[in-house]
A and B are shown apart, each in its own frame.
Chain A
């Protein structure tokens, strides 16, 4: 049988697929994403909203937010494209400035909850035992309370304790992360539990690698696709929750504008019936941004999730 001798050359190897560039995994995903029109549309809207909110105010002459009694509640016109509010401030400028806060709160609370959720979920799934018990019981406890009432209770406490309005934005971020890490931790834990049984993890053990290295170098990179999907969907949820909180006056407080508290300040019968320019723009912004983020997140899941569907 041993007709083939010693030195082996490439030609003897079965025709292998030609190695692609280093980033081939990501390039493959990008190519798939480009084919998903709906996800691309979502991405476009998200990018547009970010550009509008962060760059838009630079071109607005009304960013000083001065109160102009003469300009109270004007309908949309050439000078004020979306009209003015009860204090004579330009609604378009306010919507853009509110978007900065809403998007920042959404992003920051996402970063924090993804960090917390994936760290705790990974520890629970990888080390199991006591760590798993403690982390997951706390998560279960938090998950048994519906997150909106929980947020209301926390928000009410904040108002009770008279937290300075300047700090409220940061505290709202913390609150949102606090209610969303348990669900995330549970998903990450499930994924880690299945990943750690994979043969390549056993192979890493057999190589004599340290636990920390196995966890961070071998296991976590396999979680990245899942984390990206979770993160993108999480931003949408956080923006929505922040809007709801602010609408009920439990989130970020005026004069700092957010989409939620802008709708709240138009929350009376006259404004609702006769001045739609006060509540439609912030409402539409929330709607468009959250829907677009979710559509994009779903598209990302289809692209990055290695598990076959259907």
Chain B
């Protein structure tokens, strides 16, 4: 691709030191987001998706968690986010990179009126006066499709529904015109019809402003609707990535195939939904191997002994699986 990447993560490792041992929540993850592109990180719960997002935002090691970035680089435009000082990081957060969380109810301050919470980044980053910020906040509330914005601005979070609150979170996130929006399971806590509206709204803002989206989800339905490019994570590692159409039509990794098989198909009645047997392995007991081999239909001897690396296959995609490695045949 000709365009330069907006965000480029290389070999990111985020570990948690616990009493039982080191949890490698994110283990050598690389991914890139180009301007105007929507990249989805998909994988089951506990695969390290949220920790990846928190690493980008510089939230690891703050807020009382024992996590640490053990290695890697996170390049945003021409800056390495991991090397920025507190002040430089603050001018990027909320201004150039915004983030929305899974639970809109708990991400808003319960004792501050909604309007004031929208005003804050406007005052901090765009240096608006209080009055101008208030007017802009009301505009933003209207822009995310909520009626009676003046009244809503005075309301407290507990007075609104989850769907409305997530709209407010989006309003806050887009308020300073970010170049990158990180959304961590933004629709998981909402019911299906509201989900569709929220996704539509994200798409609409993206089209209007050319911002990039890094969308984290465990729902392949969301991926199909939103993604340009998909990164599949399993147990802290990227196991497959590729263009969305290619990945959905020709999934390479048995894990991706399993995820796709377990996705409900719209408008089609299924008697029993497939689910991948077994569970995500305990992150403390991982030896060099393919972490998926216990659950894999195609597990071979080599999968137990050595870790496959992410290698390019086809035109765009990459996969980390011994099935696609010449070496496997030699050793196997």
* B293 is an interface residue with CB less than 8 A from chain A: no
With both beta carbons as reference points, the residue of chain B lying nearest to A224 in the complex is identified as B111
* B179 is an interface residue with CB less than 8 A from chain A: no
| Main SS at interface, chain A | loop
Quick one: given A8-B197, A19-B155, A207-B124, are A199 and B161 in contact (CB under 8 Å)? no
A24-B59 in contact (CB<8A): no
Q: How far is the CB of B76 from chain A (nearest CB, A)?
A: 14
B124-A210 in contact (CB<8A): yes
Q: How far is the CB of A193 from chain B (nearest CB, A)?
A: 8
With both beta carbons as reference points, the residue of chain B lying nearest to A222 in the complex is identified as B111
Across the A-B interface, how many residue pairs have beta carbons closer than 8 Å? 144
Q: Which residues of B contact A22 (CB under 8 A)?
A: 113, 154
With both beta carbons as reference points, the residue of chain A lying nearest to B203 in the complex is identified as A2
Q: How far is the CB of B145 from chain A (nearest CB, A)?
A: 3
Q: How far is the CB of A281 from chain B (nearest CB, A)?
A: 43
Quick one: given A8-B145, A22-B154, are A218 and B63 in contact (CB under 8 Å)? no
Q: How far is the CB of A12 from chain B (nearest CB, A)?
A: 6
With both beta carbons as reference points, the residue of chain A lying nearest to B53 in the complex is identified as A206
* B266 is an interface residue with CB less than 8 A from chain A: yes
Q: How far is the CB of A23 from chain B (nearest CB, A)?
A: 10
In the complex, chain A residues 1-29 whose Cβ is within 8 Å of any chain B Cβ? 1-10, 12-22, 24-25
A221-B112 in contact (CB<8A): yes
With both beta carbons as reference points, the residue of chain A lying nearest to B111 in the complex is identified as A221
Write the B163-198 contact mask toward A (1 if CB under 8 angstroms, else 0). Answer: 110010000100000000000000000010110110
Quick one: given A4-B197, A16-B160, A200-B109, are A206 and B145 in contact (CB under 8 Å)? no
Quick one: given A16-B160, A22-B154, are A205 and B93 in contact (CB under 8 Å)? yes
Q: List 6 extra interface pairs beyond A2-B200, A4-B196, A17-B161, CB under 8 A.
A: A2-B199, A10-B147, A25-B111, A200-B106, A207-B98, A213-B124
> Interface residues, chain B, CB within 8 Å of chain A?
57, 59, 62-64, 89-95, 98-99, 101, 103, 106-113, 120-121, 124-125, 144-148, 151-152, 154-156, 159-164, 167, 172, 191, 193-194, 196-197, 199-201, 204, 221, 224-225, 266
What are 13 inter-chain pairs, A to B, with CB distance below 8 A? A7-B145, A13-B163, A13-B167, A14-B162, A16-B159, A22-B113, A24-B155, A206-B57, A206-B98, A208-B91, A208-B95, A209-B121, A222-B111
